[in-house]
């Protein structure tokens, strides 16, 4: 999904912790085992309210090693017994403090599920399309060695996927040549996204090219909306709802992305001297756009990343996250799955947006995001609608993270490779 700013605000967070010598590592990232009772403000972490989000995660976790008994016991807990829920976490889980290159603090931002006004048909009030995945977008999973190759020969596999044909230097019928150097280098992903052009595979179109009409002839239009700025931020958030003319709601979520790296437009405005760091919230950026409508598209084009959507079922709760379960308002976070196992509970110690007031909460790693990169990095899901958007758009705090895992489970288990 989604995510807005890459600007950090310094903040001191202090706590006394009891550690053990057990410290697995992943590159420059270390995980230090601790007791839950020693965690900062553990008594204020709202374990009871967090239980519902854990039960959602267990829909995906119950079959993983070490989780079956934990999920079975969680399902049997009384929803109103705060003491029993607290004891459950303390007896069934170990905590692991996350430290990245000797830093135990990182950026905590927020996101939400926006509401847009739209229609199933294009019209004077709804001229802006919400695109599904283009039929001509193809993907290729590559290793580090493949990424460094001068040329690759590929062929079509299932769906829109390509597969490498080993040992070849020129394409035969039904095969294509791909030059990895043509694609934006990014060590964070092993997937290239492109389009077939004759006998070659080229990078997929950038945002500016898509907005100019490239590639969209093969893209289904899911809806048409009124406001291009709201549509841009829908892509940043990664999911949302569109209220149609008959009052019904269309829920949509992330389906695919064009393969170009995410660029924060807030960071662009700061570097240009158009906004200060303090003003570069979502609301501040939207105000700048309203004051400079003739510069809107040029600003949007600074972010070459473009998100394509798919219709989602109405779960009665939050949107589906990367874990495949509905997000829980105020208790789900997006994380970098290379460092935090997707689905794990995570104690977050930060502050409320634009405030020094502590915000300590037992969250659940149920989502990922294109701008959520790094071990001590999280995006807080605030929920649906304008009030949630106010909190999300203003959240640029510093915070610390502790992963909670069933006893005997290592932090390296379940991490993305």
Query: Both 375 and 254 in a single domain?
Result: no
Residues 229 and 328 occupy one common structural domain: no
pLDDT tens for each residue of 185-241: 554 567 899 999 999 999 999 999 999 999 888 999 999 999 999 999 999 888 899
Whether the predicted pLDDT of 25 surpasses 80: no
Model confidence at 31, pLDDT cuts 50, 70, 90, reads very high
Q: Residue 257 is part of which domain span?
A: 115-131+221-311
Domain match, 401 and 324 both: yes
3-class DSSP string for the chain: CCCCCCCCCCCCCCCCCCECCCCCEECCEEEEEECHHHCCCHHHCCHHHHHHHHHHHHHHHCCCCCCHHHHHHHHHCCCCCHHHHHHHHHHHEEEEEEEECCECCEEEEEEEECEEEEECCCCCCCCEEEECCCCCCEEEECCHHHHCCCCEEEEECCCCEEEECCCCCCCCCCEEEECHHHCCCCCCCCEEEEEEECCEEEECCCHHHHHCCCCHHHCCEEEEECCHHHHHHHHHHCEEEEECCCCCEEEEEEEEECCCCCCCHHHHHHHCCCCCCCCCCHHHHHHHHHHCHHHHHHHHCCCCCCEEEEECCCCCCCCECCCCCECCCCCEEECCCCCCCCCCEEEEEEECCCCCCEEEEEEEEEECCCCCCCCCCEEEEEEECHHHHHHHHHCEEEEEEEEEEECCCCCCCCCCC
- Whether residues 127 and 226 fall in one domain: yes
Higher pLDDT: 205 or 169? It is: 205
Number of domains in the chain: 3
Share of the chain above pLDDT 90, in %: 66
Per-residue confidence (pLDDT) for residue 37, from 0 to 100 = 86
Residue 411 falls inside a structural domain: no
Residue 212 within a domain:
no
Q: Which pLDDT belongs to residue 17?
A: 33
Are 228 and 305 part of one and the same domain? yes
- Are residues 124 and 268 located together in one domain of the fold? yes
Mean pLDDT score of the chain = 88
Establish if 210 belongs to a structural domain: no
Band (23; pLDDT cuts 50, 70, 90): low
388 and 337 in a common domain: yes
Residue at 290 is within a domain: yes
For residue 282, is pLDDT > 90? Answer: no
Question: Does residue 122 share a domain with residue 240?
Answer: yes
User: Which pLDDT score is estimated for 387?
Assistant: 87
Within a domain: 296? yes
Q: What is the pLDDT of residues 38-78, one digit of tens each?
A: 898 898 888 889 999 999 999 999 988 899 999 999 999 98
Q: How confident is the model at residue 148 (pLDDT cuts 50, 70, 90)?
A: confident
101 and 70 inside one domain: yes
Q: Does 12 fall in a domain? A: no
Task: Please tell me whether residues 375 and 307 are part of one structural domain.
Answer: no
């Amino acid at each position: 999904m989604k995510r807005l700013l890459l600007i950090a605000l310094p903040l001191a967070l202090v706590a006394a912790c009891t550690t053990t010598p057990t410290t697995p590592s992943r590159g420059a990232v270390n995980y230090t085992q601790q007791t839950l009772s020693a965690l900062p403000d553990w008594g204020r972490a709202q374990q009871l309210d967090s239980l519902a989000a854990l039960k959602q995660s267990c829909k995906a976790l119950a079959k993983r090693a070490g989780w079956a008994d934990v999920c079975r016991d969680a399902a049997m807990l009384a929803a109103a017994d705060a003491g029993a829920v607290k004891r459950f976490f303390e007896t069934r889980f170990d905590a692991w403090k996350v430290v990245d290159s000797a830093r135990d603090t990182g950026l905590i931002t927020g996101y939400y599920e926006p509401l847009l006004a739209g229609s199933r048909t294009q019209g004077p009030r709804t001229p802006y399309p919400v695109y599904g995945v283009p039929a001509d977008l193809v993907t290729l999973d590559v290793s580090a060695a493949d990424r460094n190759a001068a040329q690759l020969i590929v062929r079509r596999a299932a769906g829109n996927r390509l597969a490498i044909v080993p040992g070849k230097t020129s394409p035969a019928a039904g095969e294509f040549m791909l030059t990895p150097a043509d694609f934006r280098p990014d060590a964070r992903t092993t997937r290239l996204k492109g389009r077939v052009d004759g006998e070659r595979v080229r990078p997929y179109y950038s945002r500016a090219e898509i907005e100019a009409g490239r590639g969209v002839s093969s893209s289904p239009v899911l809806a048409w909306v009124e406001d291009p700025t709201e549509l841009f931020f829908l892509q940043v958030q990664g999911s949302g709802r569109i209220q149609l003319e008959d009052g019904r709601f269309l829920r949509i979520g992330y389906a695919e992305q064009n393969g170009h790296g995410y660029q924060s437009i807030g960071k662009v405005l700061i570097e240009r001297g158009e906004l200060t760091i303090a003003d570069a919230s979502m609301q501040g950026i939207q105000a700048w756009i309203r004051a400079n409508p003739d510069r809107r598209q040029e600003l949007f084009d600074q972010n070459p990343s473009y998100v394509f959507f798919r219709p989602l079922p109405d779960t009665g709760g939050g949107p589906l996250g990367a874990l495949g379960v509905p997000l829980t308002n105020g208790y789900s976070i997006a994380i970098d799955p290379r460092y935090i196992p997707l689905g794990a509970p995570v104690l977050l110690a930060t502050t409320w947006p634009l405030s020094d007031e502590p915000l300590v909460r037992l969250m659940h790693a149920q989502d990922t995001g294109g701008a959520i990169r790094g071990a001590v990095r999280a995006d807080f899901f605030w929920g649906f609608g304008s009030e949630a958007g106010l909190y999300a758009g203003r959240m640029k705090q510093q915070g610390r993270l502790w992963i909670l895992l069933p006893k005997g489970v290592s932090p390296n288990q379940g991490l993305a490779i």
